[in-house]
Structure 1
Amino acid sequence: MSSEFARGVARGFGHVLRPYPIRDIPAGASVDLPGRGPTYVTDSGPKDAPAVFLLHSVLTTGLLCWYPVIPELNQRYRVITMDQRWHGRGIRSDGFDLVDCADDVVALADTLGIDTFIAAGFSMGGGIAQLTWRQHRQRVAGLVLCSTGPYFSTRDPAHRANAQRTGRLLTATSRFMPKPSRRLDDTSAHTTVWAMRQFLSTPLAQMGQFGDGLGEFDSRPWLGEIDVPTSVVVSVRDRVVEPERQQLLIDGIPGARRFEVDGGHACCVLGAQFFIPPFTEAVDAVSEVSIGA
């Protein structure tokens, strides 16, 4: 595992230590994607409004990554979250590949009867959003890419072995933490308790697979082909995906617009009050062009 990914794992715990307060979290349900498997989905907001798929970061869930911003978006968008493969209550499959995750997004859109949508992704989710456009260009009306870049890590011969060691360490640590069980949907608990249950619903032993999947992603050869309205939300204090790498998206995608948040790599949850305004502005900017909202 690269040192970058290790830092990301460490900051993953930060998502659950001092999270943004819970408010108006939508109810969800397991949705079976034909030929692919079941995953946990929330679908909230006006059903006739422009659809926005929120794609989460590694070691989180659809709700854990995005719950602070959903109430704001619900005022004018249909907002969908889903747990990616091996995350939370997502599909269990052989291996982990961002290409499969991108195909899952469109499979869910098919199931929900959504033709076109805005794909918004945070960190790992930003890579999935880019791949969703590449593989299903007629379905993605726009992109909102947050705290992410055109690649995640270099390929390192020791990558998998290190990731597996980290996975074993986190798995051992998790034995002393509360188990999620059926209380994942209990938002009456303290925010930290709810968030910890969400975090622990992802099998930490899959760290090696996650590292491999992220390491395979590299959109630099085809960034210039992206032809839909794109907003890039740059976390200017990010030490996991440094701002310079996030800027590569703006430089590489024709017409991409930059929005800034004064925060680090967990800004969607830690200090979310600073993330919500530029993120919603970024979504509005894409929607106005792509859908005419």
Structure 2
Amino acid sequence: MTRRTLRTAGRKGLGAAAVGARMGGRVAVLGVRAGIRRTQRFPDLPDLPPGEVVDLPGRGRVFAVDTGAPYPGAPTLLLFHGLATTSYLTWFSSIDELRPHYRLVMLDQRWHGRGILSDRFDLDDCSDDAAALLEVLGISEVVAVGYSMGGALAQVFWRRHGDRVAGLVLASTAACWKANLGDAFFYPLLGAANAALRSHYRERVGLLHGSLPEVPPVGTDLSAWAWAEFRSTSAWALPEVLGALGSFDARPWLSEIDVPTAVVVTARDRAIATSRQRALAVAIPDVTVFEAPGGHASVVFDVERWRPVFLEAVADVVGRVRARR
């Protein structure tokens, strides 16, 4: 094969990756939109705790929520949200159940909602943003809780800021996003596309980001609110975020996790296979496994069955943390 042929093939592969990434983002948007409109199992919209834009010194401004401690000495949960959502949208269905027992802290991640719009999306940067937020709030120790992409972030947060982590709750997530040979081909191709198109992605994400009010409006209609909150993350962010997730691999150091951990498995998960969620649990020494019967979006669309399992997992970790003291 000549050099010219190789260059042509490379350009075609780059274009195919970019088109595939954009199509994936649009499919995600349409899928969630349909779910929001059709589901009959949506929980009631709770009285959401107010949030505000917080200046993280040297890092940027980010929308964050801190509910405050419900009683002196209450444990703090640091909540990491999922891909293509926001902190409110991932966790709104569990807030009412958590607030009486825990102080809740959460923030929109980079390239999501009202998160920091950086030059690129990086899991380490997101983890460090969370640590900076805790510093601003004067919080020294948390139980890090993550759903899907947020589970990867919680793992990275332990790795980079272990002195702040008393326990982990990892839900519907994995230790690595590359699951098969197809992924091994797709993610490098996506990475090449991102390197060429990142500035365009960022520009489009920035246009939406700049149009948002600083604080998310909250109405009375759950469907309208959820759809508006979902749309606050641009579909143009997804190729960049997926590219970063494709490089994530915690498997070499999972055995070093030394805090009480719970893994919440979603048994009918088609986004992150149940086998990969169980493999995550097997690799962590001090772990308890809990299983919810639904799919990957159970945190929103199957709350009545998912939430009791999740709450039990959180209570289990907090109980074991206290027993260590």
2:90 to 65, 80, 102: 65
Match of 1:150 in 2: 175
Q: Distance in 2 between matches of 1:183 and 1:134?
A: 31
Q: Distance in 2 between matches of 1:263 and 1:287?
A: 24
Q: Distance in 1 between matches of 2:305 and 2:219?
A: 25
One-letter identity of the residue aligned with 2:54: V
Q: Distance in 1 between matches of 2:300 and 2:189?
A: 31
Q: Distance in 1 between matches of 2:211 and 2:315?
A: 35
The ranges of structure 1 where at least 4 consecutive aligned residues each deviate by more than 6 angstroms after the TM superposition are: 161-165
Q: Distance in 1 between matches of 2:212 and 2:128?
A: 28
2:232 to 184, 201, 205: 201
One-letter identity of the residue aligned with 1:124: M
Provide the secondary structure at the position in 2 that maps to 1:35: coil
- Contact 1:85/1:96 (CA < 8 Å) preserved in 2? yes
Q: Distance in 2 between matches of 1:220 and 1:12?
A: 30
Q: Note the alpha carbon deviations across 1:88-147, whole angstroms, 9 max, x for none.
A: 100110100111111111111111111010000000000000000001111110000000
Could you say which structure has the higher helix fraction? Answer: 2
Match of 2:222 in 1: 191
Q: CA shift at 1:291, angstroms?
A: 3.3
- Contact 2:63/2:214 (CA < 8 Å) preserved in 1? no
Task: With the length of structure 1 as denominator, give the TM-score of the two structures.
Answer: 0.88
Give the unaligned 5+ runs of structure 2: 1-16, 205-209
Match of 1:9 in 2: 28
Provide the secondary structure at the position in 1 that maps to 2:280: helix
Q: CA shift at 1:227, angstroms?
A: 0.6
One-letter identity of the residue aligned with 2:117: R
Mapped pair 1:283 → 2:321:
no
Deviates most, 109-118 or 200-209: 200-209
Q: Distance in 2 between matches of 1:180 and 1:195?
A: 18
Task: With the length of structure 2 as denominator, give the TM-score of the two structures.
Answer: 0.80
Provide the secondary structure at the position in 1 that maps to 2:53: strand
2:245 to 195, 201, 214: 214
One-letter identity of the residue aligned with 2:250: S
Provide the secondary structure at the position in 2 that maps to 1:102: helix
Match of 1:20 in 2: 43
Match of 1:254 in 2: 285
Match of 1:129 in 2: 154
Q: Distance in 2 between matches of 1:100 and 1:41?
A: 16
Give the unaligned 5+ runs of structure 1: 173-178
Match of 1:224 in 2: 255
Match of 1:176 in 2: none
- Contact 1:184/1:197 (CA < 8 Å) preserved in 2? no
User: Would the alpha carbon gap of residues 74 and 180 (structure 1) be closer, same or farther in structure 2, given more than 3 Å must change?
Assistant: farther
Q: CA shift at 1:211, angstroms?
A: 1.4
Match of 1:79 in 2: 104
Superposition RMSD on alpha carbons, in Å?
A: 2.9
Match of 2:60 in 1: 37
Match of 2:141 in 1: 116
Q: Note the alpha carbon deviations across 1:165-187, whole angstroms, 9 max, x for none.
A: 9xx9xx99xxxxxx984396332
Q: Distance in 2 between matches of 1:142 and 1:96?
A: 26
Q: CA shift at 1:40, angstroms?
A: 0.8
Q: Distance in 2 between matches of 1:123 and 1:152?
A: 10
How many aligned residue pairs are there? Answer: 284
Mapped pair 1:88 → 2:119:
no
Deviates most, 75-84 or 15-24: 15-24
Q: Distance in 1 between matches of 2:76 and 2:166?
A: 10
Provide the secondary structure at the position in 1 that maps to 2:77: strand
- Contact 2:154/2:168 (CA < 8 Å) preserved in 1? yes
One-letter identity of the residue aligned with 1:242: A
Q: CA shift at 1:61, angstroms?
A: 0.2
Provide the secondary structure at the position in 1 that maps to 2:143: strand
